[in-house]
Amino acid sequence: MLKGAIEYAPSTFEERGAAVAFTTPLLSQTRVRRGERSKLEVLIPSLSQGMGIYVVAWKSVPEMVSMTMHDRYLHELIVREESCSPYEIRRATLKAARRGLAGPKAAQAARRALEEDEEQGTLTHYLLILSILKAVGLESPEMLKAGIDTDEGQRLTRQLMTRAAESLRMDATLLYARLADIAAVTAPVGLAHSPRPGRLTRGLNDLKGFRDGMMDWARDVPSDTAPVAEFCAEVAQHTIAIGEKVLGDFHRRIEAIGPLMRDWNDAFIRVRTQAARMAWLLDGWTHITGAWEVAQAEDRHQQAATVNDLFRILPLLPRQESSRDFVGDSKQVKVAHRRSVRMLEDWRTGQMDIDAIRRIEAVKARAP
């Protein structure tokens, strides 16, 4: 059950856990991980405005907290996922939202996100084929003209890819299999020259907007919350700096597609690791940047409450990922934060805070 509040400074992303877009206010963006003997655990930050993190056995959560119907459904889906990386958690979250359990707007947003994932997958696959053909000197204007979605275009593509496989001294089937593997890993990040940036690259751009927004807000609205906003901007900036390095490295490796195909075993693992690192880095930020966008339409009191809420769920970097001790630094900020934090009333009364749930669902409808 409840193991008690602990001071928490995780070493790795896996230890920090993946953020789950629950709609119950107390559970919103709590993190889930595989603990001892691979048992699922949920990490609930700053319960009742206290310091530290509560580690709760996954199966005990519905008994402890009055969960929304959406969250009970999502809870059961996550139990059935083999691992709990950001990818699996996102898949489960989109499925729950698609069912309508977070409201019609969130359902529509989830359907759109799934469609975009599919389109991005197809686009990445196509661009990677062009990269491979270019790498072996087989660029074909006829193929581009016919388009990959026509019978003629597909016939030409198959022909050229067979020649490309010969040039790379591998079986065409193997080339296609590797292409599929790279496309799956690359689509969420996106290729450097893609006409539409991948989901994670867009997330990194949104994070830059959030950082600027926090800095502007801290300057324009002097209050107890200004240092909290400044801290949010610093964490965002630190994450952006690491993210840009990872992204640059990832794109360089993907662009060298010839060597990647040839030195497959090592090179693919490196690419996959970089893509996963990118996903972990941005894990939890989608909700935060979305919540700040939603707060733009609100008054400054509400914005201050949002900044404090976001501070509580800020994805601080694990020790292995950053030289700076953000967990330690966050304690300096908490003094101001505790004075103005919004109460988590539902924890005390067991009543559903309909307005708080609605705010979370509004973010989900914007950033599923």
Residues that bind other proteins (CB under 8 A): 66-69, 72-73, 76, 80, 99-101, 103-105, 107-108, 299-301, 351-352, 354, 358
In the bound state with other proteins, the residue whose beta carbon lies nearer, of 55 and 67, is: 67
Nearest to 291, CA basis, from 305, 277, 274: 305
Which residue, 36 or 355, is less far from other proteins as judged by CB? 355
CB of 292 to other proteins, least distance (A): 15
Q: Which is closer to other proteins, CB of 190 or CB of 368?
A: 368
Q: Which is nearer to other proteins, 39 or 300 (CB)?
A: 300
- How far apart (Å, rounded) are the C-alpha atoms in residues 90 and 70? 14
Contact in structure between 334 and 320 (CB atoms under 8 Å)? no
Query: What is d(CA 310, CA 80) in angstroms, rounded to the nearest whole number?
Result: 29
Q: Which is nearer to other proteins, 266 or 299 (CB)?
A: 299
Q: Which tokens is 125 given?
A: 């696959």
Q: Tell me how crowded residue 171 is: count the other CB atoms within 10 A of its CB.
A: 12
Determine the 3-state secondary structure of 44 from DSSP. strand
Q: How far is the CB of 102 from other proteins (least distance, A)?
A: 9
Minimum distance from residue 163 beta carbon to other proteins (Å): 41
Which two tokens mark 206? 């949104």
Of 2 and 69, which has the nearer Cβ to other proteins? Answer: 69
Least distance (Å) between residue 354 CB and other proteins: 6
* DSSP string across 148-216: TTSHHHHHHHHHHHHHHHHHTTS-HHHHHHHHHHHHHHHTTT--TT-SS--HHHHHHHHHHHHHHHHHH
Q: How far is CA 38 from the centre of its chain?
A: 22
CB of 200 to other proteins, least distance (A): 25
Q: Minimum CB separation from other proteins for residue 344, in Å?
A: 16
